[in-house]
Structure 1
Amino acid sequence: MTTELSTDALAGLLDQARQDYAALAARGLKLDLTRGKPAPEQLDLSEDLLSLPGGRYTSADGTDVRNYGGLQGLAELREIFAEVLQVPAGQLLAAGNSSLELMHDCLVHAMLSVVPGAESHWVDQERLAFLCPVPGYDRHFALCERFGIEMIPVPMTDAGPDMDVVERLVAEDAGIKGIWCVPKYSNPSGVSYSDETVARLARMETAAPDFRIFWDNAYAAHHLTDEPVEIADLLGACASAGHADRAFVFGSTSKITAAGAGVAFFGSSPANVQWLLANNAKRSIGPDKVNQLRHVLFLRDADGVRAHMERQRALLQPKFETVQRILESELGGTGLASWTVPKGGYFVTLEVPEGCAKEVVARAGQAGVVLTPAGATHPYGDDPQDATIRIAPSYPGLAELEQAILGLTACVRLVGYEKLLAA
């Protein structure tokens, strides 16, 4: 961070920042931007879901959804989300409400049973590591920590993970068993993977014969503009490249309908689907098919999903526009920050001067604006540059959000000008 401003000019800017911060602290705010949760108004869009299935308890094939069975989930629901998630319906599994549970289970099953193409259980192998594009999703990193899986950071680019780095690492190290990917509107950068990135992930040579791409397509339908981003079909690309078993695709309705009562999905090759079904049969007699039928009746088809997400967008887009407006008005031209302008998803990434993120988050918290901890966007909670802050605009109302972002920018200016004057 450099500036052409004189010491006196910086001192004046710092004095104003201190006044702004004091005024912020005096308001006694209690604002929370820590998680990307749907707002109550978004959840209200799915209120009719809770009155379904309205006395109907039979699926399209005549199954009584109140009873046991149906481990793969309702066929009609899988048909709806096959297009959304780019997975053939026959290779898609509809489960409970949490895709994170499915990712957890896939890791557990891979460690305790043999995935297709593997030579042994992962837990029996000498080394187990995952590539982690950064900035990335803290819950992915938490799963790795939970199971003692080593995490290797990989830089993100505007087209996805740096594939030169990825290809080099996976080609030389058989201990690297997977990579975490949020391919569309990534958490937290908003980056969508280019067609070339998808193709390289599918065709790259890996030292591990059982390498897996954990493709967390959490924001597949979560657009914020009139020009929805479309990504290439990873599952098809892997099959065409001769690596049909490489991709594990995950998705859910958690930020589409009711976050606490949605449906999660797993898609992959026929061999991988049978592997997961066989393992899941030991832990479940079937998912909540009543809830799955509710979603079928509520959403109806893929066009119904798109129409519903347009209503979601109408609520979210003004919030993201508010964030962009305030960041530009308060920090534009200062040299103290840069930020992403996502076309979808749930987050904005704010980059502050190196060594400042933790202090910015701490000062904001002291003034009543609670943010995701600095470092959460990196493995082990350690951002080596201490520069990345994740903003989650979805939950607060517009007035509260405006106060929170104004407060955040005041903290950025305060910490940034302090650092410049101390240099």
Structure 2
Amino acid sequence: MTTESNADAPAELLDRARRDYKELTARGLKLDLTRGKPAPEQLDLSEGLLSLPGDRHHAPDGTDVRNYGGLRGLPELREIFSDVLQVPADRLLAAGNSSLELMHDCLVHAFLSVLPGAETRWADQERIAFLCPVPGYDRHFALTERFGIEMIPVPMDDSGPDMDVVERLVAEDPAVKGIWCVPKYSNPNGVVYGDETIARLARMTTAAPDFRIFWDNAYAAHHLTDEPVEIADLSAACAESGNPDRPFVFGSTSKITFAGAGVGFFGSSTANVDWLTANSSKRSIGPDKVNQLRHLLFLRDAEGLRIHMERQRSLLQPKFDTVQRILEAELGGTGLAEWTTPTGGYFVTLEVGEGCAKEVVRRAAEAGIVLTPAGATHPYGDDPRDATIRIAPSFPSLEELEKAMLGLTTCVRLVGYEKRHGN
């Protein structure tokens, strides 16, 4: 643990950081903090899925899950996730194993078919743009770039995207067709969208009649405290404001049960659900209903989901506590960094000095600690300040996490003091 204080001489601080880094590189570490994957112990909590559905072949509504059909998914499973995703079950689809593929499909279908409320396909328009709150989720940005959609960064504050900026951009530019939002425990900074932010998103005037809010509620049930955060109901707010088709709501069980073998969800207005179902029917005769029945039998109901997520929290919270403890012990009072203290989700955002993030990531890699690339939290991988680093504590063991965090803070001190006091 560092015992540095602001009273220490600059040369002494830098020399100490260099000695610590030399010792770090000599340890031969091989640690990974890159992605927010569930740890093996978290996956073990869902081991019971593997023995399900046994010899049961029919859902409670009589659906034979072994056969074709059922594009909207099992109604009983949709009921379990209706409240947490804030979409009535009759307007919620249970689909394949990933919400990301649903986002991908919505973009594809918007390019190739006319959205409700639109006059033309996106493919027939000269320019399409999306608003991208930053810092944000790198896979959202990768999807957007994949389709040649222009990305317009929007700053985030403590209650979500800067709505003055959002309202101005959507009102003046008909090419702005959407905005990416992770409304609860945002990736990566843990921000929870405030009620007024959600109300303004719902009622704002948009130049594009087919503007959509891609509402990726990925961490809707992923709490880290005794007081789970609740957010305002975007779908209801949009309907009340006369914009029922505006929200596209996404969620999944990827970080609830088995990542890659879960269930993805899409919810929206009746018109949007019918639009997606009709287009999806061209590529699939139905989702994996055997897996959906497996999840239904495993989780049972909304209370079963809550209990399961409490077990997840018991494994995750000590890791987030470890991150906070080490950041405070090693960097507190140095002026070299600030960091978030999320109340849910999967990430901690570390803000280092301007122009330092890439170098911190490089030095950490040299010491055997792999981090998400600096810039990944911004469109096109370009963080203008080169200051944001995303920390993903979930996958390593507590012992590995502690080593990785001590190593990371060593790199932050080295790069920060080199920047501040000269190389």
Tell me if structure 1 keeps the 8 A contact 2:327–2:405.
yes
Partner of 1:265: 265
Give me the whole-angstrom Cα distance separating, in 1, the residues matched to 2:90 and 2:24: 55
Q: 1:50-88: per-residue Cα shift (whole Å, max 9, x none)?
A: 100011010111111000000000000001100110000
| Equivalences for residues 90-101 of structure 1 within 5 A | 90-101=90-101
| Equivalences for residues 28-67 of structure 1 within 5 A | 28-67=28-67
Partner of 2:334: 334
Other structure's SS at 2:323 match: helix
| Equivalences for residues 236-247 of structure 1 within 5 A | 236-247=236-247
Output the TM-score relative to the length of structure 1: 0.98
Partner of 1:138: 138
Partner of 2:204: 204
Residue 119 of structure 1 and its aligned partner are, at CA, apart by 1.3
Partner of 2:393: 393
Tell me if structure 1 keeps the 8 A contact 2:375–2:383.
yes
Amino acid at match of 2:210: D
Measured on the aligned residues, the alpha-carbon RMSD in Å equals 1.0
Other structure's SS at 1:79 match: helix
Partner of 2:371: 371
Give me the whole-angstrom Cα distance separating, in 1, the residues matched to 2:203 and 2:220: 23
| Equivalences for residues 326-365 of structure 1 within 5 A | 326-365=326-365
Tell me if structure 1 keeps the 8 A contact 2:224–2:316.
yes
Partner of 1:75: 75
Other structure's SS at 2:390 match: strand
Partner of 1:150: 150
Q: 1:133-156: per-residue Cα shift (whole Å, max 9, x none)?
A: 000000000001100000000000
Tell me if structure 1 keeps the 8 A contact 2:348–2:391.
yes
Q: Does 2:33 match 1:24?
A: no
Amino acid at match of 1:212: R
Other structure's SS at 1:389 match: strand
Give me the whole-angstrom Cα distance separating, in 1, the residues matched to 2:10 and 2:404: 25
Give me the whole-angstrom Cα distance separating, in 2, the residues matched to 1:287 and 1:37: 24
Amino acid at match of 1:59: A
Q: 1:358-379: per-residue Cα shift (whole Å, max 9, x none)?
A: 0000000010000000000000
Ranges in structure 1 where 5+ consecutive residues have no aligned partner? none
Give me the whole-angstrom Cα distance separating, in 2, the residues matched to 1:285 and 1:31: 43
Q: Does 2:401 match 1:413?
A: no
Partner of 1:384: 384
Partner of 1:297: 297
13-22 or 274-283: bigger deviation = 13-22
Residue 422 of structure 1 and its aligned partner are, at CA, apart by 2.3
Partner of 2:254: 254
Q: 1:325-354: per-residue Cα shift (whole Å, max 9, x none)?
A: 000000000000000000000000000000
Output the TM-score relative to the length of structure 2: 0.98
Q: Does 2:224 match 1:224?
A: yes
Residue 5 of structure 1 and its aligned partner are, at CA, apart by 5.8
Other structure's SS at 2:189 match: coil
Residue 121 of structure 1 and its aligned partner are, at CA, apart by 0.4
Q: 1:106-136: per-residue Cα shift (whole Å, max 9, x none)?
A: 0000001000011100011121000000000
Partner of 2:181: 181
Residue 36 of structure 1 and its aligned partner are, at CA, apart by 0.1
Give me the whole-angstrom Cα distance separating, in 2, the residues matched to 1:348 and 1:244: 34
% identical equivalent positions: 81
Residues paired across the two proteins, number:
419
Other structure's SS at 1:221 match: coil
Ranges in structure 2 where 5+ consecutive residues have no aligned partner? none
Other structure's SS at 1:355 match: coil
Residue 228 of structure 1 and its aligned partner are, at CA, apart by 0.7
Give me the whole-angstrom Cα distance separating, in 1, the residues matched to 2:147 and 2:275: 20
Tell me if structure 1 keeps the 8 A contact 2:6–2:334.
no
